[in-house]
Amino acid sequence: MARLRVGVLISGRGSNLQALIDAARDPGYPAEIAVVVSNRADAPGLGRAAAAGIPHHAIEETRRAAFAEAADRVLRAAGVELVALAGFMRILDLGFVEAWRDRMVNIHPSLLPAFPGLHPQRQALAAGVKFSGCTVHFVRAVVDSGPIVAQAAVPVADDDDEERLAARILAAEHRLYPLAVRLFAERRLRIAGERVLVDGAAAPPAAMLNPSDNRA
- What residues are labeled active site? 108
The rounded distance, in Å, linking the Cα atoms of 8 and 88 is 9
C-alpha to C-alpha distance for 164 and 216, rounded to whole angstroms: 25
- Contact indicator for 15, 41 with CB cutoff of 8 Å: no
27: preceding bond cis by omega (within 30 degrees)? no
In the 8-state DSSP scheme, what is residue 84? Answer: E
